Amino acid sequence: MSEIKVKDKEIVVPGETLAIGMDYLPSHWTYREKDKILASRLGLVVIEGKVLKLVPLSGVYLPKRGDTIIGQVTEILLSGWRIDTNSAYSAVMNMKDATSEFIARGADLTKYFDIGDWVMVKIINVTSQNLVDVTMKGPGLRKLKGGRIVHVNTHKVPRIIGKQGSMVSMIKQYTNCRILVGQNGVVWISGDDPAQELLTVNTIKKIENEAHLAGLTDRVHSYLEKRKMPHSGRNIHETDMPDVQYSEQE
Amino acid sequence: MTYEKRSDGRRFDELRPIAAKVGVIPRAVGSAWFKIGKTEAYAAVYGPREMYPKFLQDPLKGCLRCHYNMMPFSGSGERVRPGSNRRSKEISLVMERALRPVVDLSQFPNAVVDVFVELPQTDAGTRCAGICAASMALADAGIPMRDLVCAVSAGKVEDKIILDLMYDEDSAEEGVDIPIAMLANSKEISLLQMDGMITKKDLMKAIDLAKKAVDEICDVQKTALKERFNVAEH
């Protein structure tokens, strides 16, 4: 006797009725009130059998354990560094999570990371009060030297990365730039040619704007195909640094 | 004396023309514009972000902080001292309380969600327009909410119970102005203020008028929120 009120992939607003009847189950960002299932934020409906959930489209980042993020060092602490995570909560990177080098008591910590440095780190713990611990021990986690930073909507990050990193590798191929994407919506781009870097920035902005529309990969492909430039010099991403392993989100 | 005809020719239970748009302020996390008649409100939402000053932090849940401001040139054109005053502080507070029941900030301890409402043009019903805009902006900012909030004013001029007062009605002698905010689904009242004297019977009539109008306002809000994602913005 249950009735579903929305189509799959439809955009719903808070308080909108998704289904009536007890046959459907509320999941992420939906709630039940009597026999109705309602949306509890702005998002895209995903119907998985009898389970209804929302995929958020907007909002700021909220730190989550296991996320790889790009942050900026904002403060030197007694035994580590405070890192801005582009969210309401800053993170702490302890000395022992930062480097395997021996750091003597009273050493000048700015030698390792100074205020203003950008770092790619992984969240190891988030407490109930949203105190965040991060580490730099892991594949691809490091200090980011040079390059430029772009901020994007954190909910669009899975689209920028693509399935098994397909989207980001496509951009890398066309623009010959190094790209690192943090779950918190901070993207680091570095290339030899500023024009190529700019193309990368524009491509990422395009993905961000059109992330929720179908046929994204094809559109980005033709966008890059139209604007591709001859590679200047060496091929960047063949040569250095191990890439971060991108896994598909959710 | 009886009130025969409204100066803009509306029926007594008719809203002024409404328009709304979401995502009008690119740098804000969420934003909205709401226009009802000549009253226009912009709302911008920032956060959840770190709460300063720190002593205002709540370790159990996030805070909601509203800021209401009528621009100095927004009214009849007479010089108004810019910045906050007693009236705007009060309205900021009641707006926060009107929105509080729908937002769920339990995930954001020690953080704050800031809502800024600016009114570039006013013709009565500013707090209602502000609440409508703020509710859309909060949804646009991805804040967990169980419902939208819609607000409209009702009242009485002479012998008529009327909906959505304009300034000349609001300021009429013996006129009664009742701003009402309701949750869109449950029609629970989250704001009810009154300026003037009214009987209980007439008050109930006024609330009923507002209740009917809320659905109309809610439709406009919903459409505006959905339209934000229909076309790729640039």
What CATH number did the domain enclosing A79 receive?
2.40.50.140
Site from A9, A60, A74 to mutate, B interface, most B CB atoms within 10 angstroms = A60
Residues 6+ apart with CB under 8 A from B171: B124
Asked if A157 and A229 sit in the same domain, the reply is: yes
Residues of B in contact with A213 (CB under 8 A): 232
Tell whether B147 is within 8 A of chain A (Cβ): yes
Tell whether A223 is within 8 A of chain B (Cβ): no
Residue after which a domain boundary falls, among A56, A85, A101: A56
Tell whether B8 is within 8 A of chain A (Cβ): no
* Predicted local confidence at residue A43, as pLDDT: 93
Tell whether B114 is within 8 A of chain A (Cβ): no
Q: Is residue A164 part of a domain?
A: yes
B158-B162-B168-B170 Cα dihedral, nearest 10 degrees: 90
Domain boundaries, chain B: 18-225
Predicted confidence (pLDDT) per residue in A87-114, tens digit: 999 999 999 999 988 999 888 999 999 9
CB contact under 8 A, A14 and B140: no
Asked if A139 and A152 sit in the same domain, the reply is: no
Tell whether A131 is within 8 A of chain B (Cβ): no
CB contact under 8 A, B142 and A60: yes
Residues of A in contact with B232 (CB under 8 A): 209-210, 213
Domain range B18-225, CATH class: alpha beta
Helix (H) or strand (E) holding B21, with range, is strand B18-22
* Predicted local confidence at residue A244, as pLDDT: 57
- Chain centroid to CA B61: how far? 24
- Chain centroid to CA B160: how far? 24
Q: What are the structure tokens assigned to B228, written together?
A: 């934000």
The domain total for chain A is 3
Mean pLDDT within A113-133 = 96
Asked if A37 and A77 sit in the same domain, the reply is: no
Tell whether A89 is within 8 A of chain B (Cβ): yes
Q: What is the spatial distance between Cα B199 and Cα B205, in angstroms, rounded to a whole number?
A: 10
Q: What are the structure tokens assigned to A64, written together?
A: 């989550």
Tell whether A38 is within 8 A of chain B (Cβ): yes
Q: Is residue A249 part of a domain?
A: no
| Position A245 pLDDT exceeds 60 | no
Residues of B in contact with A56 (CB under 8 A): 142
Tell whether B99 is within 8 A of chain A (Cβ): no
* Predicted local confidence at residue B232, as pLDDT: 47
Predicted confidence (pLDDT) per residue in B20-41, tens digit: 999 999 999 999 999 999 999 9
DSSP string, A177-232: -EEEE-TTSEEEEE-S-HHHHHHHHHHHHHHHHHTTSS-HHHHHHHHHHHH--PPP
Q: Is residue A244 part of a domain?
A: no
Closest partner residue to B145 (CB to CB) among A14, A90, A129 is A14
First to last CA, chain A: 31
Tell whether B111 is within 8 A of chain A (Cβ): yes
CB contact under 8 A, B229 and A57: yes
Residue after which a domain boundary falls, among A144, A177, A200: A144
Of A249 and A246, more confident: A246
Q: What is the spatial distance between Cα A144 and Cα A119, in angstroms, rounded to a whole number?
A: 5
Residue A144 vs residues A69, A117, A184, B84: alpha-carbon distances, Å: 12, 7, 16, 44
CA A244-A72-A197 angle, to 5 degrees, is 60
Predicted confidence (pLDDT) per residue in A208-230, tens digit: 988 877 888 999 999 999 988 87
Residues 6+ apart with CB under 8 A from A124: A65, A97, A133, A134, A135
Asked if A82 and A127 sit in the same domain, the reply is: yes
How many contacts (CB atoms, under 8 Å) link A and B?
A: 94
CA distance B204 to chain A (A): 26
* Predicted local confidence at residue B1, as pLDDT: 63
Give me the helices (H) in A90-193, please.
Answer: 95-98, 157-161, 166-175
Q: Which amino acid, residue B170?
A: D
Q: What are the structure tokens assigned to B217, written together?
A: 């306002």
Tell whether B183 is within 8 A of chain A (Cβ): yes
CB contact under 8 A, B144 and A29: yes
Give residue A235's pLDDT band: very low, low, confident or very high (50, 70, 90): low
Residues of A in contact with B144 (CB under 8 A): 14, 29, 40-41
Task: Supply the CATH number for residue A45's domain.
Answer: 2.40.50.100
Boundaries of domain holding A190: 148-239
Task: Supply the CATH number for residue A158's domain.
Answer: 3.30.1370.10
Residues of chain B with pLDDT under 50: 232-234
Asked if A44 and A77 sit in the same domain, the reply is: no
CB contact under 8 A, B146 and A40: yes
ipTM over 0.90: no
Contact present, A36 and B208 (Cβ < 8 Å) = no
Tell whether B27 is within 8 A of chain A (Cβ): no
Asked if A113 and A182 sit in the same domain, the reply is: no
| Position A15 pLDDT exceeds 70 | yes
Residues 190-229 of B with CB under 8 A from A: 221-222, 225-226, 229
Give residue A243's pLDDT band: very low, low, confident or very high (50, 70, 90): low
Tell whether B187 is within 8 A of chain A (Cβ): no
